[in-house]
Chains A and B, each alone.
Chain A
Amino acid sequence: MSKKYKSKKIIVARQYQILALILVVLAGGLVLLPKQTRSEGVSPLVFVKQAVSSERYISTDQLADRIINQDPTLLLVDTRSKEEYDDFTLPNAINIPLEKFFDEEFNGFLNQDVYDVVLYSNDNFYANEVWMLGNRLDYKNLYVLSGGLNEWFNTIIDPQKPKETDSQKEFELYSFRKAAGMYFGVGVPKTEAKAKIKAEKKPAKKVITVKKKKKRVPEGGC
């Protein structure tokens, strides 16, 4: 460049030598730094917060209401074994046994943001395990049927008749359950069949899925 450099016969100025050194040191630092293990999914803190919350549970009454109203966003997932599923399951449910969680065939049903997936098993246990795995991997819209099929049978299919002394609310709930049971194929005794049963319509819980906006991919290039 200038005469000064020429006379000293340096190829590059000192500043640039330092700059080059900085780059080499930094790049070398990357090589030498101890490697960390990265784990997939959410952080443990988020995991605990979600796991402790009971937001994931959906009651049998809520579920019955959503099935009867033919909620298009509902997807039922039976987490029990194939045999149990073949024996009895809820209408339109699909079978994803716990151990098949990562099967490509099934994983797409769990890892999505289109449907509200309601997981159930005989009680909460398997459904909960699937939910916890989903929680770890940050799957959205997973729910657990509270009490599972046992609870489903106790409430919807074969509800307990409330006592005479119970509140009006109990009776309304009972008639709703009776009506829901009819929908799921339970015969009704003649005396009750004639009585007009009005099921109280509960507004189906709307879950808004946040759709990410798709962006056009701009082409780069210089």
Chain B
Amino acid sequence: MKELERTKRVSISAVLFLLVVVIAVLTFKKPEYVFEKSAEETLEKIVEKDYIISQNDLEQMVVTDYEIIDIRSNYEYAKGHLDGAINISAINALEKESGSFLKELGDTGKKAILYGEHPDEANSAWMLLYQLGYENAMVLCIETSFVNNQFQVKDVNLEKPTVNYAKVLKSLMDKEPTVVKEKKKPKKVITAPKKKKRVPEGGC
């Protein structure tokens, strides 16, 4: 009798174990979006900066070779946008339709030209797409605004200092010297945080 009980217990626990595995497998959903590029690869790419094009470059491209995508909100898009632009706002980029649209675009070999209010925004969206594995996206380096009921587009020079900082500061200082703060060398010490390992659980 005792023997019988014990075997039953074993069978029950084995069945439960199996059941858990089966349920877990059945409920398993593959994450729809996975980053395909590592951060290192992305960095390599963004240092190159070859995916950023100006309006001139765009004009030289064949019209059937690209699709312009406006990544601003629907509202901004409705007010005004580039000719032939399609609206996929950045926040909806991971929705089903946008994903399949981009995939189709990639399959046909067309380029997706992203633009937003500022190249920054377009670049953020580009980084998202690139890391997801869409390599056919490009950033259009323009600033757009809506002034006086007119949709305005302006070319931007990225990372161009408006003034020569050192010179201007010097000229401003020369007006009348005041307390000039000495530049101290930074002496911040940061201990790189180690990945915290989890606490071990004891044996028997």
Contacts and interface: CB of A to CB of B under 8 A. Distances in A.
A and B touch in the complex (CB under 8 A): yes
A91 B123 contact: no
B59 interface: no
B199 A193 contact: no
A218 B200 contact: yes
A188 B178 contact: yes
A102 B43 CA distance: 9
* Most chain A C-beta atoms within 10 Å of own C-beta, residue among B38, B174, B201: B38
A60 interface: no
Interface stretch (B60-68, B77-85, B104-112, B179-187): B179-187
B160 to A, nearest CB: 6
Interface stretch (A153-161, A169-177, A197-205): A153-161
Given A87-B165, A132-B124, A15 B11 contact: yes
B192 interface: yes
Interface string B140-179: 0000000000000000001111110110110011111111
Interface in A173-219: 181-190, 193, 212, 215, 217-219
B8 to A, nearest CB: 9
Contact of A136 (B35, B160, B186): B35
A43 interface: yes
Contacts of A88: 165-166, 169
Contacts of B177: 187
A37 to B, nearest CB: 7
A109 B189 CA distance: 9
A154 B191 CA distance: 36
Nearest to A43: B31
A28 interface: no
B34 interface: yes
A37 B160 CA distance: 40
Contact of B39 (A40, A124, A218): A40
A78 B179 CA distance: 24
B165 A149 contact: yes
B172 A43 contact: no
A24 interface: no
A165 interface: no
A212 to B, nearest CB: 7
B42 interface: yes
Interface of B: 3, 7, 10-11, 14, 17-18, 21, 31, 33-36, 38-40, 42-43, 46-47, 90-91, 93-94, 118-120, 123-125, 127-128, 131-132, 158-163, 165-166, 168-169, 172-181, 183-184, 186, 188, 190-193, 196, 199-204
Interface of A: 1-2, 13, 15-16, 18-19, 22, 26, 37, 39-41, 43-45, 47-49, 51-52, 75, 80, 84, 87-88, 91-94, 98-99, 101-102, 107-109, 111-115, 121-126, 128-129, 132-133, 136-137, 149-150, 153-154, 157-158, 181-190, 193, 212, 215, 217-222
26 contacts: A39-B35, A44-B128, A47-B35, A47-B128, A47-B131, A51-B125, A91-B183, A92-B186, A98-B43, A98-B46, A102-B43, A109-B188, A122-B160, A123-B158, A125-B119, A125-B159, A126-B159, A129-B46, A132-B124, A153-B163, A157-B169, A181-B172, A183-B181, A186-B172, A190-B176, A222-B204
Given A37-B36, A91-B183, A102-B40, 17 more contacts: A44-B131, A47-B35, A51-B124, A51-B128, A80-B159, A87-B166, A91-B181, A98-B47, A109-B190, A126-B159, A132-B124, A136-B42, A136-B127, A182-B178, A189-B176, A222-B202, A222-B204
Pairs of residues from A and B, 6 with the lowest C-beta to C-beta distance, nearest first: A222-B203, A222-B204, A187-B175, A108-B192, A88-B165, A187-B176
